Amino acid sequence: MTGPVRVRFAPSPTGHLHLGNARTALFNWLFARHEEGTFILRVEDTDTVRSTDESERMILDDLRWLGLDWDEGPGVGGEFGPYRQSERGGIYREHAERLLAEGKAFTCYCSDERLEKNRKRARDEGTVPQYDGTCRHLSESERRAYERDGIRPTIRLRAPEANIIVEDMIRGRVEFGKEMLGDFIILRSDGRPTYNFAVVVDDALMKITHVIRAEDHLPNTMRQQFLYSRLGYELPLFAHVSLIVAQDRSKLSKRRAATSVHELRRAGFLPSAVTNYLALLGWSHPEAKEILSREELVGAFNLKRVSASAAAFDDDKLEWVNGHHLRESPLSVVVAAAKPFAGSAGFDPDDARFPAIVDLVRDGLDRLSNLPEEIAPFYDREFDLEPEAEEWVSQHESRELLGALADSLAAARGKLDAAEFKAALKSQGSGLGLKGKGLFMPTRAALTGRTHGPALGSTAELLGRKRVISRCRAAAGNVEKQ
């Protein structure tokens, strides 16, 4: 294969975008961007029972959220369209008819009951179920008789006469015995193509140069490679990426971890963190760097560094990567992503202080679903003191400190800033002989109800003079009431 790289992601719209498929999309996208090639999106919706428009919409939306933009495909167009298989029926029929005319395929009138009986017999005998060849050599008059009876045939490809050898870019040479392939169906009796047939016709006509997809498609590749040879199309290069498994090497299951992009979005992962983490599932940076921006991923991505062994999904690591992205991304990006999380918890994301609040708390965040809890102290909502915080403010010296601090802050005017607050705290503390923990803990407890959190001076600045004074007084007053 020579010429510019053309790769595709070909989802079946039968549910959310699964993490395994998202990783396949990402590898194709990274490869295309690295090679300055073309990334194509093709919707494989020939399974009319399971495919839905709603799934297609969700998958496209998740791809856009991940930033995996496509150069050709639904909504974008391109010279090799249409890009939905359901709109390409005529193209598949034409190809099937060509194979029929060339004698490489034949029409099959066998009933489902007969085929099922054959399959059952093979299973009982412990052999691979294969078409028994009943319609392989029908005469023209036999065919016409079936047609007269109104039987709509399937179209089957004649089985190969030699083994099929797939040269995979990641797995090397994989040989499939010819006995593994019978005369398989390429067009169903209702005219719909089978998956393998549609994929080959589309990949060939769309001039796909590299087929990058998960390892569980290898048996399909055996069929597809044979189809290429029968259709006389040039083979693309194949790269089968290993599967993503759970920590204990079992299948990734919904019960134990997030399995879709949709779930990660809702849990508050940034798209840059998800693509960063997914890239590391099966690929590694040449200098073993683990926190990578999208540009760095594009710059370094290479199929040679894709591993042949299964990649284990690790939630903790995903959170760790997300924490980095939350801290290191431009504030505007984090603020935009944070808004819906604040809004749905009832905290006004349009408050003028919101960006500064997010900037202050993002250090301690590993997912945005924890944001509401972190920003709560900055809003005017009643909060209970945590037990340890309660203990600090219930001490006599604390009460004195908080009262004095409130008075000194009330004596001044204008916007409270961190420097003024810290100076006031220090001076009241030294008057009472308090320093270190004895000074900071009760103050933080009074201001936020907690004993841990972001820098105290900045916290006070964001709360503003009025809130700081009233919270100090409330904490001091509570104690007096006891």
The contact set with ligand GLU (CB under 6 A) reads: 10-12, 44, 199, 213, 217
Residue nearer to ligand GLU on the CB measure, 176 or 421:
176
In the block, tokens 């935009």 appear at 336
Question: Quick one: 217 or 285, whose CB is closer to ligand GLU?
Answer: 217
Toward ligand GLU, which CB reaches closer, 200 or 445?
Answer: 200
Smallest distance, ligand GLU to C-beta of residue 50, A: 11
Q: Which residues contact 186 (CB under 8 A, 6 or more apart)?
A: 96, 99, 105, 155, 156, 157, 193, 194, 196, 197, 227
CB of 334 to ligand GLU, least distance (A): 33
Alpha helices (H) along 362-455: 371-375, 387-393, 396-410, 418-432, 437-448
Query: What does the block give as tokens for 61?
Result: 């939306």
Q: Quote the CA–CA distance of 249 and 179 in Å, as a whole number.
A: 31
Rounded Cα distance between 94 and 100, Å, is 10
| Burial classification of residue 326, based on how many CB atoms lie within 10 Å of its CB (0-12 exposed, 13-18 middle, 19 or more buried) | buried
Shortest Cβ 368–ligand GLU spacing (Å) = 29
* Nearest distance from C-beta of residue 199 to ligand GLU, angstroms: 5
Output 200 or 258, the one with its CB closest to ligand GLU.
200
Q: What is the Cα–Cα distance from 111 to 65, expressed in whole angstroms?
A: 46
Confirm whether 339 is a catalytic residue.
no
CA end-to-end span of the chain: 82
Distance CA 234, CA 392 (A): 76
Q: Report d(CA 476, CA 465) in Å as an integer.
A: 17
Per the DSSP assignment, residues forming a β-bridge with 311 are 244
- Considering the complex, what minimum distance in angstroms separates the CB of residue 208 from ligand GLU? 10
Beta bridge partners of residue 283, listed in sequence order: 306
Q: Which residue's CB is nearer to ligand GLU, number 217 or number 399?
A: 217
CB of 220 to ligand GLU, least distance (A): 7
Q: Do the beta carbons of residue 88 and residue 82 sit within 8 Å?
A: yes
Nearer of residues 28 and 443 to ligand GLU, judged by Cβ:
28
Minimum distance of ligand GLU from residue 317's CB (angstroms): 26
Beta bridge partners of 164: 176
Between residues 51 and 276, which has the closer beta carbon with respect to ligand GLU? 51
Catalytic residue among 178, 251, 254, 289: 254
**CA pair distance 409, 257, nearest whole angstrom:** 49
Report the residue number, 12 or 451, with the smaller CB distance to ligand GLU.
Answer: 12
Residues taking part in catalysis: 254
